[in-house]
């Protein structure tokens, strides 16, 4: 079980900060900006965005860094643009061109919709050669950069929906909602292959993570604006609103803080993590074991 440090920093903020990352900086760069703005080193995120991508990053601050594991698996929604007729070795605009075809002129909107629709569901997707997947202990992108690209096995991913929202050949924009681990670059690549013309991703923006929307995020360049940060700030209990919740009785609070189990009331979902709360604040995340709830991650 994870416990809080014996002597946490005084007045350290703890919560979730949704940030709108611009194109260019890395996710780590944004974390660095937030660390300086908030005056704390304890900041992590729930999933990176490539430098060329923009959109929603969920930053976990202070003790709330322990919540990352309960947020990282949330479904994600992106708006993406692909360029038909050109394939690259990275499957996006940062890579070297590997093939060019003029056959994109014969591609129709219906054809693009069909190529995207065939990827909806639980599918096997081959990650890009330039990805963070480990192959015999080495990152795939390092092998590719060194001229030793290795075959990457397909992995199961889940794509809930893809919708074509703009078609102005050779470009096509689409919105996609998917499970964690899905490569949107690979979606564009595979659509291009299905159409027989090749394709790569030229723009990517993450608009939602679970119920969190980029419209409610603080722009990364305004992290030094306390009012903007306060407007976007989410308290730990609100951050895990997607979990089942138990409101603790007064005598249960010290038991949970010490890592002790408590009786489990009826719950709509007994299979997943459970938020344990008191006085409107998150105390811990637990899991149901028989007729008891065992704390696993203590926050308070």
Note the pLDDT of residue 137. Answer: 58
Domains with residue ranges and CATH for the chain: 15-74+211-238 (3.30.2350.10), 76-207 (3.30.2350.10), 243-298 (2.30.130.10)
Q: Name every residue whose Cβ is closer than 8 Å to that of residue 44 and which is 6 or more positions away in sequence.
A: 31, 59, 60, 65, 68
Low-confidence ranges of the chain (pLDDT < 50): 2-8, 10
* 3-state SS assignment for residue 186: helix
Distance CA 272, CA 270 (A): 6
What is the pLDDT, as a whole number, of residue 153? 83
Q: Is 166 helix (H, G, I), strand (E, B) or coil?
A: strand
Question: Residue 281 is encoded by which pair of tokens?
Answer: 């604040």
Enumerate residues 6+ apart whose C-beta is below 8 A from 257: 283, 284, 298, 300
- Cα angle 43, 46, 49 (rounded to 5 degrees) comes to 100
Among residues of the chain, what percentage have pLDDT more than 90? Answer: 79
The residues annotated with a catalytic role in the active site are 50
State the residue for tokens 């599918």: 123
**How many CA atoms within 13 Å lie on the side-chain side of 264?**
20
Report how far residue 102's alpha carbon sits from residue 86's, in angstroms, rounded to the nearest whole number. Answer: 9
- Map the chain to HEC letters: CECCCCCCCCCCCCEEEEEEECCCCCHHHHHHHHHHHHCCCCEEECCCCCCCCEEEEEEEEHHHHHHHHHHCCCCEEEEEEEEECEEECCCECCCCEEEECHHHHHCCHHHHHHHHHCCCEEEEECCCCCCCCEECCEEHHHHHHCCCCCCCCCEEEEEEEEEEEEEECCEEEEEEEECCCCCHHHHHHHHHHHHCCCEEEEEEEEEEECCEEHHHCEEHHHCCCHHHHHHHCECHHHHCCCCEEEECCHHHHHHHHCCCCEECCCCCCCCCCEEEEECCEEEEEEEEECCEEEEEEECC
Q: Which distant-in-sequence residues (6+ apart) come within 8 Å of 53 by Cβ?
A: 21, 23, 204, 205, 206
Helix (H) or strand (E) holding 81: strand 76-84
pLDDT tens track for 21-49: 999 999 999 999 999 999 999 999 888 89
Measuring CA to CA, which residue among 120, 187, 193 is closest to residue 159? 120
* CA dist list (Å): 86 to 39, 80, 109, 147, 184: 45, 16, 17, 21, 16
pTM comes to 0.89
Question: How many other CB atoms sit within 10 Å of the CB of residue 238?
Answer: 12
């Amino acid at each position: 079980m994870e416990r809080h440090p014996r002597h946490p920093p005084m007045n350290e903020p703890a919560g979730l900060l949704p940030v709108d990352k611009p194109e260019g900086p890395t996710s780590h760069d944004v974390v660095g900006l937030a660390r300086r703005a908030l005056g704390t080193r304890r900041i992590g995120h729930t999933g990176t965005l490539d430098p060329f991508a923009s959109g929603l990053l969920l930053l976990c601050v202070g003790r709330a860094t322990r919540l990352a594991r309960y947020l990282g698996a949330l479904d994600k929604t992106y708006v993406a643009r692909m360029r038909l007729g050109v394939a690259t070795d990275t499957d996006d605009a940062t890579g070297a061109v590997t093939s060019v075809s003029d056959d994109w002129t014969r591609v129709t909107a219906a054809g693009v919709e069909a190529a995207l629709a065939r990827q909806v569901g639980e599918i096997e997707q081959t990650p890009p050669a330039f990805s963070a997947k480990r192959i015999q202990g080495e990152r795939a992108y390092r092998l590719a950069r060194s001229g030793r690209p290795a075959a990457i096995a397909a992995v199961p991913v889940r794509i809930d929906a893809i919708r074509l929202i703009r078609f102005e050949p050779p470009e096509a924009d689409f919105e996609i909602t998917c499970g964690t681990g899905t490569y949107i670059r690979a979606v564009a690549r595979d659509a291009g292959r299905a159409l027989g013309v090749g394709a790569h991703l030229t723009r990517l923006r993450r608009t939602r993570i679970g119920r969190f929307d980029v419209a409610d995020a603080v722009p990364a360049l305004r992290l030094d604006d306390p009012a903007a940060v306060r407007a976007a700030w989410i308290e730990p209990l609100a951050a895990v609103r997607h979990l089942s919740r138990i409101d603790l009785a007064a005598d249960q609070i010290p038991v949970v803080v010490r890592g002790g189990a408590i009786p489990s009331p009826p719950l709509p979902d007994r299979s997943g993590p459970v938020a344990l709360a008191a006085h409107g604040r998150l105390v811990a995340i637990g899991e149901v074991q028989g007729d008891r709830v065992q704390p696993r991650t203590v926050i308070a």
